[in-house]
């Protein structure tokens, strides 16, 4: 896909979205020289705000290589948004169905046609408390090994200041004027994995390599060191559930303790009372 073949629908989306982005935000865009001029490639992007897909799309559009996103299938069915998703050639993802693999086949086909396919490897907004990239899913790794296409790590920061993730109210915080920062890095070297069977272990290793490159770019954007290990959401959820079960168990035990103590006291008092009654009866007989 050449830099000039952007197409009507993408240009229409740019006409609608770019003016407010230009007015409302400042921009700090770095690393555009790493976006390939020709041929198919993959971008792996971190995700820390509902707004950052627009930030990244704006950046990528200005390189002349528009991305095809993997997006939830439901977005393709709704009115104008669905029309734009279909018109701009985005790729629907049918999660938890037998069609789930269709998205990866479509991504591979798009790359072979010379297009850019954008992955959010985390699969959702990061749950990391400090908004660092968390452990990624293996979809981008699968497509990378199948196509051997360049994988460009892209980090972004700043959209989260305007629209923090998981805020109670999804409202834009426009003042003071925020800066949308996007940085692309050099292609991730995955050549060591190309001749290996794509086992679960290999896919995990490739994914971790990609996410490490994205995290490195984000550390440069933020100007601070990244965590030694990526946040493992599943592990954190499992630990929270285990802690909740243990707390509930302890609470039940604490609530039961007075009852058990009272029962034990009654158990001791009853034989004593019976002996006292028997002794009184014997004394009367005498």
- Tokens 């899913």, residue located: 137
Break the chain into its structural domains and give their ranges. Answer: 8-238
> What's the confidence (pLDDT) of residue 4?
44
* Average pLDDT along the chain, 286 residues, taken 10 residues at a time: 63 88 95 95 96 93 90 78 82 66 83 94 93 94 95 97 86 91 97 93 97 97 93 78 75 74 62 59 58
Closest CA to 133 of 216, 34, 31, 220: 216
Rounded Cα–Cα distance for residues 112 and 107 (Å): 9
10 Å Cβ neighbour count for 263?
9
CATH number, domain 8-238, options 3.30.460.80, 3.40.1130.10, 2.60.40.2470, 1.20.120.1200: 3.40.1130.10
């Amino acid at each position: 896909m050449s830099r000039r073949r952007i197409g009507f629908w993408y240009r229409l989306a740019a006409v609608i979205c770019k003016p407010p982005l230009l007015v409302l935000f400042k921009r700090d865009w770095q690393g555009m020289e790493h976006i390939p001029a020709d041929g198919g490639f993959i971008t792996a992007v971190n995700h820390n705000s509902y707004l950052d897909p627009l930030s990244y799309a704006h950046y990528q559009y200005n390189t002349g290589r528009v991305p095809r996103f993997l997006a939830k299938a439901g977005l393709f069915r709704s009115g104008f948004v669905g029309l734009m998703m279909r018109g701009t050639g985005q790729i629907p993802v049918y999660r938890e169905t037998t069609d789930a693999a269709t998205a990866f086949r479509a991504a591979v086909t798009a790359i072979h046609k010379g297009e850019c396919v954008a992955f959010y490897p985390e699969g959702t907004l990061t749950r990391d408390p400090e908004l660092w990239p968390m452990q990624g899913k293996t979809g981008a790794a699968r497509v990378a090994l199948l196509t051997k296409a360049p994988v460009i790590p892209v980090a972004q920061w700043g959209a989260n200041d305007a629209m923090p993730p998981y805020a109670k109210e999804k409202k834009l915080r426009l003042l003071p004027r925020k800066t949308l920062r996007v940085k692309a890095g050099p292609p991730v070297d995955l050549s060591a994995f190309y001749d290996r069977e794509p086992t679960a272990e290999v896919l995990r290793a490739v994914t971790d390599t990609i996410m490490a490159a994205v995290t490195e770019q984000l550390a440069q954007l933020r100007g601070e060191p990244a965590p030694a290990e990526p946040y493992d959401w599943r592990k954190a959820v499992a630990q929270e559930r285990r802690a909740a079960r243990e707390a509930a168990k302890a609470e039940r035990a604490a609530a039961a303790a007075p009852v058990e103590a009272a029962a034990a006291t009654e158990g001791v008092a009853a034989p004593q009372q019976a002996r006292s009654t028997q002794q009184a009866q014997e004394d009367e007989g005498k």
